[in-house]
Amino acid sequence: MCDVICNEYYLFIFLFYENTERGNWSSKREYMLSMIGYAVGLGNVWRFPYLAYKHGGGAFLIPYTIMLAVAGLPLFFMESSFGQFCSQGPINVWKAVPILQGVGITMMLVSIFVAIYYNVIIAYSIYYLFASFQYPLPWSVKDCSSTAGQSPSEKYWDEVALQRTSSMNETGPVVWHLALCLLLAWILVGGALFKGIKSSGKVVYFTATFPYIVLFILLVRGATLEGAKDGIEFYIGSKSNLTKLADAEVWKDAATQIFFSLSVAWGGLMALSSYNKFYNNCYQDSIIVCVTNCGTSVFAGFAIFSILGHMAHVYQRPVSEVADAGFALAFIAYPDALSKLPISPLWSILFFLMLITLGLDSQFAGIEVIATFCIVLFLLGLPCVTGAGIYWVNLIDTFCAGWILLVAGLLEVLGLSILYGGNRFIKDIEMMIGTKSALFWLWWRACWFFITPVVLSVCTQFLSYLSIYLSIYLSIYLSIYLSIYLSIYLSIYLSYSFSLSRSLSLYIF
C-alpha cells in the first residue's frame, strides 16, 4: 500500500479506497480512546509529578509546555499523519524512504524489549492488587527484623514481592507468584488483542477511562486529608522556583518527559493511525490527544502529592523526604501513604487497578506493532521475575527505551522533511484533511525543518552517539540478509561495542 506514496496515480485511487483486508476502526471514539490510552501511561503518574516538584514546581510547566510545542506535538502529528496516509505499520511505511527502513525495524525491536519489561511492571501491580485484599495491608505491618532506615513498605517490596538478590550476578530462582502474575498480564493483553482492533477497540472503553475516575477519587480523598496543602505547595504551589529555568537539566528533563510521555518514535502511533479512514482529521486528533496527555500529567500530580503531603504530615517529615519517582513511588512511597488512610484496602485496590489499566493501554499498541505471540514474550520475560529481575527491568528501561528513541525520532523528522520532502509530505496531509493556508503550515514547517531537529540533536548529544546508532543500524540491515546465527554473534559483539562506546562518549563529554 505504501507504493501509493511514490505514485500520484495510485494515490488518487487510494482516496476512494478503504483497507478491507486490515480493517478500520469501528468508530472514531474507539480510535481516540486507544490513542489516549496509548499515550497516557505510567510515566504520567509516577514520573511527571516528581520532575515538576524537583525542577521548581509550577515553573517546570514553562519548559514542559515549550517542549510540547516544539518537539512533542510536531512529531506526534507527523507520525499519526504518516501512518494514516500509508495505512501500514511502522516497518512498511518506511518504503517511502527506503534508506531509513532501519528506523522502522528499530521501532519494532524497541517495542519488543519494552513489551517484555512493561508487562513485568503490570505483573508487579497485579501482585499488589491481590495483596490489597487483606486488612491490614501486608506492607503496613512493622517487622522487628527490618534494617535501620528501612520502612515496612520498602522491606515488603524488596524481600516479599521481589525477593531481590544482592546483585544482577546472583540470579536466584524464578519468583513464582510474579511469574503467575506475568502470565495473567499476558493473558489479559492477548485476550484484548485476540481479534485485533475489533476487540481492543472495545476494551479501551474501560481501560482508557477508568484511570481518570480513580485519579479524581484519589484527588478528592487526598484534598480532604491533613497535610494535603503542604504536598500541593511542594508540587506546584507558591514555592515555585523560577530560577530553575536557568538550569539546562530542567529543559533536558522537560524534553525527555514530553517525548516519552507522548510515546513518539515507538511505532505505536503509526500502527494505531494506520487503521483510520483516509479522510480522518489527523491534525485535530493530534491536538486533542497531546493536550489530554499533558493535562493528565498535571492532574495526576495533584492526586499524588495531596496524599504524599498527608504522609509527610503523619511522619512529621518534609514532603521532600517522602516524594519519589518510578518504582519507589508506585510500590513503596504511595502504598505506604495509602496504608495510613481509613479503609486502606479500598484505596490500594483502586490505585493498583489504575496502574494495571494504564499499563495495558500502552501495551495494546505495542503488541500491535510487533504482531507476535504473547507466549514467546512471556517466556522472554521470565528472567525479569527472578530474584535479580528488577535489575534487568532497570537495565532494559535505561538502555532500550532511552536515547535510542530520541535518535530514531530525529532520523524520522529528518527523513520525512528532507529525504521524502517536507512540502510533498504537507501535500499528502492536505489530501486527507483538506487544503490549508500557508500561514497554517508556517509553524509546522518551522518545526519539521529546523526547530524539532535542533531540539532533538541537543537532547541526544547526537554527534557523540551517531557512531553507536550507525553500528546498530548496520547490524539490523545485515540481519535481514544474513543467517540468524550470524545475527546472534554480531549482536553479542555490538552489545560490547555499545557499552564501550557509550562509556567513552560519556567520558569525553
Binding-site residue ranges for Na(+) = 37, 39-40, 44, 261, 293, 358, 361-362
C-alpha 464: how far from chain center: 25
Report the distance separating Cα 456 and Cα 469, nearest Å: 15
| Those residues with Cβ within 8 angstroms of residue 240's Cβ, 6 or more apart along the chain or in another chain | 56, 57, 58, 59
Helix, coil or strand: residue 27: coil
Residue type, 348: S
274 three-state secondary structure:
coil
DSSP character for 174?
B
Interatomic CA distance for residues 25 and 30, integer angstroms: 7
Query: Which residues, in sequence order, are CB contacts of 237 under 8 Å at separation 6+?
Result: 57, 58
Q: Which residues contact 473 (CB under 8 A, 6 or more apart)?
A: 102, 106
Question: Dmax over Cα atoms in the chain, in whole Å?
Answer: 76
Q: CB-based contacts of 202: which residues, under 8 Å, 6+ apart? A: 30
Q: How far apart are the C-alpha atoms of 322 and 312, rounded to whole Å?
A: 6
Q: Contact 176/161 with Cβ under 8 angstroms?
A: no
Q: Give CA–CA dist 395/169, Å, rounded.
A: 13
How many helices and strands (H and E) does the chain possess? 26, 0
Give the three cell numbers for residue 168: 544482577
Residues whose CB is less than 8 angstroms from the CB of residue 130 and which lie 6 or more positions away in sequence, other chains included: 181
Q: Please work out, in degrees rounded to the nearest 5, the angle formed at the alpha carbon of residue 294 by the alpha carbons of 449 and 239.
A: 110
Q: Report the distance separating Cα 189 and Cα 96, nearest Å.
A: 31
Tell me the residue type at 205.
Y
Whether residue 260 contacts residue 77, with contact meaning beta carbons closer than 8 Å, is answered with no
**Beta bridge partner(s), residue 158:** none
> Whole-angstrom Cα distance, residue 258 to residue 273?
20
